[in-house]
């Protein structure tokens, strides 16, 4: 009886996920075709899979949708800084992001106009959808974190343009923010309702040790993958490369060292989860679940976010194949 109910519940949730994925795909297709940035990754299915790995329950529908939309927009921003824009264009893009006003679109090259306009318009929709007593969530923490992401993307570009090789410690400090986890955690909590209190938002916004550890899990997994698969020529040195230079070690030695650091960060996440104040548990669960899903995305050195074919079987199993009753 319990097994039958579990199967029925899975199929009902799967129907909801399919509806959300359909709505998000339509939203993304409009956005992607409007901004016209062919160098940017076209990967809403992969993003939605990521969000379902973090929180699949029916009651988190709004959180999943908001997370997927902001994830998609920041991916466009990241790819622009990473693989296409010139150094001057990167400075202009960050300047416009910091000013956050429609009039600032004219300081940007024409090909970035629609990206900027659509970003501001979508954030306004997010604000309008919030209850009056929750608008502080978007007006302060989340928009400031989005702007901060832009600043750190620019910092990476500047360091790369100067061929500067940061120390391992310097790289960690930058990549904690460029991992996206602090900002995306806040975005997810925005859809949690009253259980995500002002205290919870302020805790995440301070980027405490647990958020740092979750961000480092993301960065270490990503860099271990890019070391195996190869990275873009504009990227600044990865954590593995910084470790190799700093310790005069081989690639295999650096890989082993970063894998050990990854294990250490998981120990931190697990320890803090057991000890954290109950009021902060919603944020702790988001951080841990985001890090846990990254283990699937970057399983055995793959990058299933960039190379979506790696997720084909999992996507089919979760969204397309019903469980027999």
Q: Which pLDDT tens digit goes with each residue over 91-130? A: 999 999 999 999 999 999 999 999 999 999 999 888 888 7
Percent of the chain past pLDDT 90, that is, above it, reads 53
d(CA 299, CA 106): 42
Q: Is residue 3 part of a domain?
A: no
| pLDDT number for residue 92 | 97
| pLDDT number for residue 64 | 93
Q: Is residue 5 part of a domain?
A: no
Q: Tell me, what CATH number does 243's domain have?
A: 1.10.600.10
User: Is 205 or 301 the better-scoring residue by pLDDT?
Assistant: 205
Which residue is associated with the tokens 């928009």? 143
Q: Is residue 1 part of a domain?
A: no
Residue 6 binned pLDDT confidence (cut-offs 50, 70, 90) = confident
Asked if 11 contacts 322 with a C-beta cutoff of 8 angstroms, the reply is yes
Q: Is residue 135 part of a domain?
A: yes
The residue count of the chain comes to 325
Q: Which domain holds residue 55?
A: 10-319
User: Is 164 or 75 the better-scoring residue by pLDDT?
Assistant: 75
User: Is 325 or 207 the better-scoring residue by pLDDT?
Assistant: 207
Instruction: Give the residue-averaged pLDDT of 207-232.
Output: 84
d(CA 93, CA 78): 11
d(CA 119, CA 63): 18
Q: Is residue 84 part of a domain?
A: yes
pLDDT higher than 80, residue 265? yes
Q: Is residue 214 part of a domain?
A: yes
pLDDT higher than 80, residue 306? no
**Distances in Å between the alpha carbon of 220 and those of 105, 272, 280?**
35, 20, 25
| pLDDT number for residue 231 | 57
Q: Mean pLDDT over all residues of the chain?
A: 88
Overall domain count for the chain: 1
pTM of the predicted protein model: 0.91
| pLDDT number for residue 246 | 87
User: Is 166 or 236 the better-scoring residue by pLDDT?
Assistant: 166
Residue 158 binned pLDDT confidence (cut-offs 50, 70, 90) = very high
User: Is 11 or 292 the better-scoring residue by pLDDT?
Assistant: 292
Asked if 222 contacts 298 with a C-beta cutoff of 8 angstroms, the reply is yes
Instruction: Give the residue-averaged pLDDT of 36-42.
Output: 94
Q: Is residue 213 part of a domain?
A: yes
Q: Is residue 4 part of a domain?
A: no
| pLDDT number for residue 234 | 61
């Amino acid at each position: 009886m319990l097994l039958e109910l579990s199967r029925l519940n899975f199929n009902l949730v799967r129907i909801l996920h399919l509806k959300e994925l359909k709505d998000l795909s339509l939203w993304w297709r409009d956005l992607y075709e409007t901004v016209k940035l062919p160098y940017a990754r076209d990967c809403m299915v992969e993003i939605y899979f990521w969000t379902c790995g973090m929180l699949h329950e029916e009651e988190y529908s709004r959180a999943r949708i908001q997370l997927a939309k902001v994830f998609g927009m920041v991916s466009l921003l990241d790819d622009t800084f990473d693989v296409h824009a010139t150094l001057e264009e990167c400075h202009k893009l960050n300047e416009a992001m910091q000013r956050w006003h429609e009039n600032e679109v004219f300081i940007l090259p024409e090909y970035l106009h629609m990206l900027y306009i659509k970003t501001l318009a979508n954030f306004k929709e997010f604000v309008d959808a919030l209850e009056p007593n929750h608008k502080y969530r978007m007006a302060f923490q989340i928009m400031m974190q989005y702007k901060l992401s832009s600043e750190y993307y620019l910092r990476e570009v500047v360091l790369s343009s100067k061929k500067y090789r940061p120390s391992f410690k310097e790289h960690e400090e930058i990549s904690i923010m460029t991992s996206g986890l602090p900002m995306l955690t806040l975005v997810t909590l925005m859809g949690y309702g009253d259980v995500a209190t002002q205290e919870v938002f302020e805790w995440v916004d301070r980027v405490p040790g647990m958020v740092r550890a979750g961000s480092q899990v993301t960065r270490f997994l990503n860099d271990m993958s890019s070391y195996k698969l190869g990275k873009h020529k504009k990227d600044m040195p990865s954590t593995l490369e910084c470790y190799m230079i700093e310790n005069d070690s081989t690639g295999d030695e650096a890989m082993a060292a970063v894998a050990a650091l990854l294990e250490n960060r998981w120990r931190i996440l697990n320890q803090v989860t057991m000890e954290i104040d109950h009021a902060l548990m919603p944020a702790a669960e988001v951080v841990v679940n985001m890090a846990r899903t990254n283990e699937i995305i970057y399983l055995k050195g793959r990058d299933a976010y960039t190379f979506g074919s790696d997720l084909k079987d999992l996507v089919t199993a979760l969204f397309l194949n019903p469980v027999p009753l």
